[in-house]
């Protein structure tokens, strides 16, 4: 990791809000625009910055019901695991999927309209996946913190 203090400050600022212009970023780190532009390109090329996204408000799209769905596969087999991953990547309601250790194999973060929509999702989408042995759902009552920034 060949990052200096300015690189780290730029990454922290961009992690909180990537909409700043190069000129605004330069002012925040006390450099001119040209070296800041070069630093950001280097950080992108070296993979420190993977992409820039707009974080959408699920409530505005009537999709604000958040569920964490724990998945246990039928068995631990390469084909079953690969098929599950291939299938889950095609389901729009699933915004995040983590392969985990412990009692479950995967945790899904799912956005839907309401409980009835989630029931439909479980029966018709997850229920059609042959690789799933069991599920356990946890319903979000309130989102307390949601950031894509990391601590360094």
Residue 15 belongs to domain with CATH number: 1.10.10.10
Q: Structurally, how many domains does the chain consist of?
A: 2
Q: Per residue of the chain (152 residues), what is the pLDDT tens digit?
A: 689 999 999 999 999 999 999 999 999 999 999 999 999 999 999 999 999 999 999 999 999 999 999 999 999 989 999 999 999 999 999 999 999 999 999 999 999 999 999 999 999 999 999 999 999 999 999 999 988 888 88
Q: Does some domain include residue 114?
A: yes
Do 41 and 113 have their domain in common?
no
The DSSP annotation for 35-67 comes to: HHHHHHHHHHHTTS---------GGGGT--EEE
Q: In DSSP terms, which residues pair with 69 in a beta bridge?
A: 108, 137
Q: 9 in helix, strand or coil?
A: helix
Give CA–CA dist 45/98, Å, rounded. 26
Give CA–CA dist 109/22, Å, rounded. 34
Do 41 and 16 have their domain in common?
yes
Do 26 and 62 have their domain in common?
no
């Amino acid at each position: 990791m060949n990052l200096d203090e300015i690189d780290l400050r730029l990454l922290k600022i961009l992690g909180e809000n990537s909409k700043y212009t190069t000129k605004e970023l330069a002012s925040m780190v006390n450099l001119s625009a040209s070296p800041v532009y070069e630093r950001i390109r280097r950080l992108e090329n070296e993979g420190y910055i993977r992409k820039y996204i707009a974080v959408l408000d699920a409530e505005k799209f009537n999709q604000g019901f958040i569920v964490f769905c724990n998945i246990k596969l039928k068995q631990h087999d390469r084909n079953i695991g690969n098929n599950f991953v291939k299938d889950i990547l095609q389901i729009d309601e699933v915004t995040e999927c983590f392969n985990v250790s412990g009692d479950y194999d995967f945790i899904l973060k799912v956005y839907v309209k309401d409980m009835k929509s989630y029931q439909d999702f479980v029966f018709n989408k997850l229920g059609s996946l042959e690789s799933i042995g069991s599920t356990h759902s946890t319903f979000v009552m309130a989102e307390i913190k949601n950031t894509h920034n990391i601590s360094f």
